[in-house]
Amino acid sequence: MITASVYPRQLEPKTWQQELAEAITSPEELAHALHLARGTFQDAQGAGRRFRLRVPRSFVARMRPGDPQDPLLRQVLPTPQELADEPEYVDDPVGERTALRAPALLQKYRGRALLIATEACAVHCRYCFRREFPYAEQHGGDAPRFGEALAEIARDDSLEEVILSGGDPLSLSNARLESLTRALAAIPHVRRIRVHTRQPVVLPSRVDDGLLRWLRGCTVPMVVVLHINHPNELDAELASACARLRATGITLLNQSVLLAGINDDVEVLSLLSRRLFDAGVLPYYLHALDRVRGAAHFAVADEQAQALAGQLAARLPGYLVPRLVREVAGASAKVALPPAL
Ligand SMILES: *Cc1c(COP(=O)(O)O)cnc(C)c1O
Ligand code: SF4
């Protein structure tokens, strides 16, 4: 280990696993990291017990110190508003429990099935529509098992695309990802593999050499859909991670969730689209909030959402305008909300 003797340990860049282990999980620690007074986030405790605070330090580094209203902070900070019970906000807002075809395998739309690859996420987003998903029922025990899901995909030759979702599929090791996609690619009718992930966003170090090797080596075309909500998330480090992802030849897209007080602003959304393009990423969907229990305070009214989509369309080329959609239980596709023009 010549490198180890030349570079003292603390100067080596941290691995993503180390960064993950050092993620912030307590409100006091978060206040401290943002130079806010002790006790600033005292009221985060209650909601944090229901769905734990969790955010990697590299994401915290993109928040504005001293600003409790920072748009990145608000995505991850538990608040008492989450504990308010709103009748329309439920555990399974998009009808996933009835879409299960095999353990961890969901199908709602023709030709595409979605595999819950893991329950783990590097970050806990307060508005997450799967925050109440019964993961434990899907994979008995710690190590996810995909045998039944793979057999079901192999049996149904109408399934052309498999989406790895979660949780965050990139919480799995590169070796596990490789063996999973090798098994999928061996099924002749699987023509595309898609990965829905926020991990490169909150933890750019996740885009390591092994991950790039895995993407390059995959024998069916891969689509990676990132989840970035605000332009402040897209700093130089993330842009460089996007460039490395792109260089493997994958298709790179982004989806956002429209969130009150965070990105419900045409300037913010327009800057996000332009920065995404600069980083080699095209905007795909802008999701109307799924009505999951605890997230009502993030909702943007449909008319306002459609007005925003109209303003965005009026200032950007069509390929930089994400489609505003809502997921409706039982519908045959995501339902488009037309921009108000
Ligand atoms: C959103 C979703 C998809 C993907 O839909 P696209 O419109 O193809 O992006 C597939 N399966 C499930 C269960 C979904 O929720
Ligand atoms: S990364 Fe995605 S799955 Fe994980 S908490 Fe955030 S929105 Fe939910």
Q: Could you tell me the CATH number of the domain that includes residue 289?
A: 3.20.20.70
Judge if 305 and 327 occupy the same domain: yes
What is the best residue among 50, 118, 168 to mutate for testing ligand 2's pocket, by most ligand atoms within 8 Å of CB? 168
Q: Which atom of ligand 1 is nearest to the CA of 285?
A: 9
Is residue 86 classed exposed, middle or buried when 0-12, 13-18 and 19+ CB atoms within 10 A define those classes? middle
| Residue spans of alpha helices (H) in the chain | 2-6, 16-21, 27-33, 45-50, 57-60, 73-76, 135-138, 147-155, 174-185, 199-202, 209-217, 236-246, 266-278, 302-313
Judge if 71 and 121 occupy the same domain: no
Judge if 223 and 317 occupy the same domain: yes
Identify the nearest ligand to the CA of 96 by its number.
1
Cα distance between residue 29 and residue 60, in whole Å: 11
Predicted confidence at residue 145, as pLDDT, reads 81
Q: Which atom of ligand 1 is nearest to the CA of 333?
A: 7
72 close to 62: Cβ distance less than 8 angstroms = yes
Written as six digits, the tokens of 113 are 């099935």
Rounded to the nearest 5°, which phi and psi values hold at 237?
-65, -40
Judge if 267 and 118 occupy the same domain: yes
Instruction: Tell whether 11 is covered by a domain.
Output: no
60 close to 261: Cβ distance less than 8 angstroms = no
Predicted confidence at residue 139, as pLDDT, reads 56
174-185 helix and 147-155 helix, angle to the nearest 10 degrees: 20
Looking at 31, 53, 83, the residue that finishes a domain is 83
Cα distance between residue 229 and residue 208, in whole Å: 23
Q: Which atom of ligand 1 is nearest to the CA of 108?
A: 13
What is the CA(5)–ligand 2 centre distance, in A? 39
Instruction: Tell whether 88 is covered by a domain.
Output: no
**CB 159 near ligand 1, within 6 Å:** no
What is the CA(197)–ligand 2 centre distance, in A? 8
**CB 326 near ligand 1, within 6 Å:** no
Residue recorded with tokens 């709602």: 108
Q: Which atom of ligand 2 is nearest to the CA of 202?
A: 1
Predicted confidence at residue 8, as pLDDT, reads 56
What is the best residue among 132, 165, 198, 262 to mutate for testing ligand 2's pocket, by most ligand atoms within 8 Å of CB? 198
Predicted confidence at residue 268, as pLDDT, reads 98
**CB atoms closer than 10 angstroms to residue 133:** 19
**CB 104 near ligand 2, within 6 Å:** no
Total number of domains in the chain: 2
Residue recorded with tokens 């010549």: 2
One pLDDT digit (tens) per residue for the chain, 341 residues: 445 555 555 677 889 999 999 999 999 999 999 999 999 999 999 999 999 999 999 999 999 999 999 999 999 999 999 999 899 999 999 988 899 999 999 999 999 999 999 999 999 999 999 888 877 666 554 456 899 999 999 999 999 999 999 899 999 999 999 999 999 999 999 999 999 999 999 999 999 999 999 999 999 999 999 999 999 999 999 999 999 999 999 999 999 999 999 999 999 999 999 999 999 999 999 999 999 999 999 999 999 999 999 999 999 999 999 999 999 999 999 999 999 99
Looking at 83, 116, 136, the residue that finishes a domain is 83
Type and span of the H or E element at 44: none
Give residue 78's domain range. 16-83
Cα distance between residue 237 and residue 257, in whole Å: 22
Predicted confidence at residue 7, as pLDDT, reads 56
What is the CA(168)–ligand 2 centre distance, in A? 7
Dihedral sign from CA coordinates of 138, 143, 146, 148: negative
Residue recorded with tokens 């075309």: 221
Looking at 25, 54, 83, the residue that finishes a domain is 83
Cα distance between residue 32 and residue 134, in whole Å: 33
Predicted confidence at residue 132, as pLDDT, reads 81
What is the CA(258)–ligand 1 centre distance, in A? 17
Judge if 143 and 36 occupy the same domain: no
The number of residues in the chain equals 341
Residue nearest to ligand 1 atom 15, measured at CA:
108
What three-state secondary structure class fits 89? coil
Instruction: Tell whether 226 is covered by a domain.
Output: yes
Predicted confidence at residue 6, as pLDDT, reads 55
Nearest to 189 by CA among 149, 225, 223, 162: 162
Instruction: Tell whether 240 is covered by a domain.
Output: yes
Nearest to 277 by CA among 239, 324, 225: 239
Judge if 177 and 129 occupy the same domain: yes
Instruction: Tell whether 8 is covered by a domain.
Output: no
Instruction: Tell whether 6 is covered by a domain.
Output: no
Judge if 231 and 260 occupy the same domain: yes
Instruction: Tell whether 248 is covered by a domain.
Output: yes
Identify the nearest ligand to the CA of 255 by its number.
1
Judge if 204 and 317 occupy the same domain: yes
Judge if 104 and 244 occupy the same domain: yes
Judge if 276 and 250 occupy the same domain: yes
Instruction: Tell whether 58 is covered by a domain.
Output: yes
Judge if 33 and 101 occupy the same domain: no
Judge if 65 and 113 occupy the same domain: no
Residue recorded with tokens 């504990």: 83
Dihedral sign from CA coordinates of 211, 213, 216, 221: negative
Predicted confidence at residue 142, as pLDDT, reads 47
Identify the nearest ligand to the CA of 105 by its number.
1
- pTM of structure: 0.95
